[in-house]
Structure 1
Amino acid sequence: MPHSALIHSLPPLGFIAVDVHFHRPPGDPFNALTWPFPLIKEQAEGSKLGQIVTKDSYPEGFLDRFVEAGQRLASKGCVGIITSCGFLAMAQPVLASRLPIPVATSALIQIPSIRSFLPPQKSIGVITYDGTRLGPLHLSQLGISAEGIYIVGAPDDGYLRGVIRDGREYVHDEIEAELVRCAKELVEAHSDVGAIVLECTQMPPFAMAIQQAVGLPIHDVYTMGKWFYSGLVRRDEWPT
């Protein structure tokens, strides 16, 4: 069977999108070309950026819209669900308890496994869309202690936030340069960092450049999504 036909024959992964619109190149989880399996998207109605990127708990009515989107994805045959913002770690317990299929809301979910990969004296760095708002409450909703985790944000006046928040023109090289700077500053400030997690779902297209710059393992929603799906749909690829 041709590779493209094999991909389309697989059961789909669901994607809860939020009401934010800008360029999404391959590598961004919103783009179906990113994934080696089918992707079905449903938007959580009324889910604006300012409501999602917050340091406070989400109101129940807001979460209901994500549950409804997840239920629509389940009804379309999706085997699992991911979301379009790492800040939705705050919604993980509610969505996991109310949806009929597995859900992984944030790249941050990988932190416990990454910790186990590293020597005990090593810490984890997180690069996020907004370093003033991502914090211990998000981690606690995933059962993660904030100890040994350093969080830094993309520049408030930078290209990445300008694209997502203000509809600024998408310039790949400019976003890449500012995220590489963030990573370098992170490891210069904290020499014990042994791996980096990219919270923002728009960051995977720059993960390779970040890794080349700092020489550390880099995890993001793309690494999470592939690992998540590999357990949902087993495909044994060794010779028989």
Structure 2
Amino acid sequence: MANENAPPMGFLAVEVNIARPPGDPFNEQTWSFPLIRETVSGSSVADIVTDKQYGDEFIERFVAAGIKLAERGAVGIMTSCGFLAMAQKKLSARLPIPIATSSLIQIPTLRAIINHTHKIGLLTYDASRLTDRHLTELGIDPASVHIFGAPPRGYLRGYVSRGDPYDSENVEQELITMAKQLLHSAQDKIGAIVLECTNMAPHGESIHRATGLPVYDVYTLGEWFYSGLNRKNPSYWAMRKPRDQKV
């Protein structure tokens, strides 16, 4: 449960009306911290999930919404689509508070701690539009990542972009199948999995259980991000007496 007295995280929401279960970053119940939102006008799924560079007007709308969040007291900002990795540098340069646009931000750290002979598996909403530019924008070597995308006529893309009813069980099974297909196509040389799409996060634990691999997503990013924005010592530290140490 979020501490209501803690400073809030800001969230830049896109213009899409879909189910937002716990685990989705738009849902306040997802987080251990308070969340405040601003919707960015002209930010449909089609506008964001693209292999094209974002135009100046598009970036300006995100900047304006981000400034509103800062004025409302947000200590940091997150967004609702991993494809916005391509806007990370432009937004961080323009906003007065830190912003983490995409779960892909975690890949450079994972690359440093995962066996170098293994790739980072990346499950994405649309593999045909996730390009090397999304990776190199964050300093990621595309050769170190193995990408696998959701089926165009599948359950995930159906409820996000086509307005199909949300079917949690079928979405979860689809994602587990995707993860297993990812491992097979990479000949099991995957050291960790990153979920690009924010709508995949509610199923991160199930993917972890099904593959036995570390899984990172917008939830793991947000909790890490906020832990530094509002750095606190755990309460249980104060309840433990220091042990006598002999040199």
- TM above 0.5, yes or no, is yes
Partner Cα separation in structure 1 for residue 38 and residue 96 of structure 2:
16
**SS, match of residue 198 in structure 2:** coil
Q: CA deviation at 1:58?
A: 0.3
* Counterpart residue identity of residue 96, structure 1: S
Q: 1:203-229 CA deviation, whole Å, 9 max, x = no partner? A: 111111111111100000000000000
Choose 1 or 2 for highest CA Rg.
Answer: 2
Q: 1:50-104 CA deviation, whole Å, 9 max, x = no partner? A: 1100011001001111000100000000000000000000110110000000000
Q: CA deviation at 1:119?
A: 1.1
Residue number among 134, 139, 150 corresponding to 2:135 in the alignment: 139
Q: CA deviation at 1:125?
A: 0.5
Q: CA deviation at 1:46?
A: 1.2
Partner Cα separation in structure 2 for residue 70 and residue 179 of structure 1:
31
**SS, match of residue 147 in structure 1:** helix
Q: List runs of 5+ in structure 1 lacking aligned partners.
A: none
The aligned counterpart of 2:64 is 68
Residue number among 25, 42, 57 corresponding to 2:38 in the alignment: 42
Which piece of structure 1 moves more, 135-144 or 63-72?
Answer: 135-144
TM (normalized to structure 1)? Answer: 0.97
The aligned counterpart of 1:226 is 223
The aligned counterpart of 2:181 is 185
Q: 1:27-69 CA deviation, whole Å, 9 max, x = no partner? A: 0000000000100000111111111000110010011110001
* Counterpart residue identity of residue 24, structure 2: D
Query: Does 2:199 align with 1:202?
Result: yes
Query: Does 2:232 align with 1:235?
Result: yes
1:92-131 alignment, distance < 5 Å? 92-131=88-127
* Counterpart residue identity of residue 215, structure 1: G
**SS, match of residue 37 in structure 2:** strand
Partner Cα separation in structure 2 for residue 234 and residue 73 of structure 1:
20
Q: Which runs of 4+ in 1 moved over 4 A?
A: none
Partner Cα separation in structure 2 for residue 16 and residue 66 of structure 1:
8
Q: CA deviation at 1:235?
A: 1.1
Q: 1:139-180 CA deviation, whole Å, 9 max, x = no partner? A: 111121111201111110000000000110001000001000
**SS, match of residue 143 in structure 2:** coil
Aligned length: 236
TM (normalized to structure 2)? Answer: 0.94
Q: 1:8-36 CA deviation, whole Å, 9 max, x = no partner? A: 01000000000111010000000000000
Q: CA deviation at 1:239?
A: 2.0
The aligned counterpart of 1:161 is 157
Q: List runs of 5+ in structure 2 lacking aligned partners.
A: 239-247
The aligned counterpart of 2:16 is 20
Partner Cα separation in structure 1 for residue 80 and residue 224 of structure 2:
17
The aligned counterpart of 1:212 is 209
Residue number among 58, 79, 85 corresponding to 2:81 in the alignment: 85
Partner Cα separation in structure 2 for residue 144 and residue 239 of structure 1:
37
Partner Cα separation in structure 2 for residue 112 and residue 146 of structure 1:
11
Q: CA deviation at 1:135?
A: 1.7
Q: Give me the identity figure in percent.
A: 51
Q: State the superposition RMSD in angstroms.
A: 0.9
